[in-house]
Amino acid sequence: MIRSMLAGAMVALMPLSGFAADLIVDYAPATRQCTELSQSSLTVEQDVSTLTKEVVSRMDEAIAVADDPRWIYSTRPAFVWASETKVACGKAYGYLQSNWRDEDYLAKCDCFYAKMHHFMN
């Protein structure tokens, strides 16, 4: 008798558990780190030599921040954004060396650099 009641209860509850994830009404997708590429101050219309100087400047500063113990051991995420800046600017710089202006990496370099500075202040 108890087994049949338990089995009946499990069968009755099974459809509800299958839709449990859909019950969240206020779900909002995670926001992107950089909302629009057009907000970047590094644009593909700029001269390659100018872009290279700007990208290398951002990359060098990010390397300095990522190597600084003050930021490595800080509770603020400046070190994380410095590391992201190094990677994005490094990739943008690699493309610029072959005269290719990669819009995505230029925008990421600029965005992550701004986020690094935001958490440093």
Looking at residue 30, its pLDDT comes to 47
**Single pTM value for the model:** 0.69
Q: Read off the pLDDT of residues 24-72 as tens digits, 9 standing for 90 and up.
A: 555 554 445 666 555 777 777 788 999 999 999 999 999 999 999 999 9
Q: Report the distance separating Cα 68 and Cα 58, nearest Å.
A: 15
**Cβ neighbours of 70 (radius 10 Å):** 10
Mean pLDDT computed over 104-117: 92
Q: Which residue has the higher pLDDT, 22 or 57?
A: 57
Q: Read off the pLDDT of residues 75-96 as tens digits, 9 standing for 90 and up.
A: 999 999 999 999 999 999 999 9
The burial class, CB within 10 Å (0-12 / 13-18 / 19+), for 120 is middle
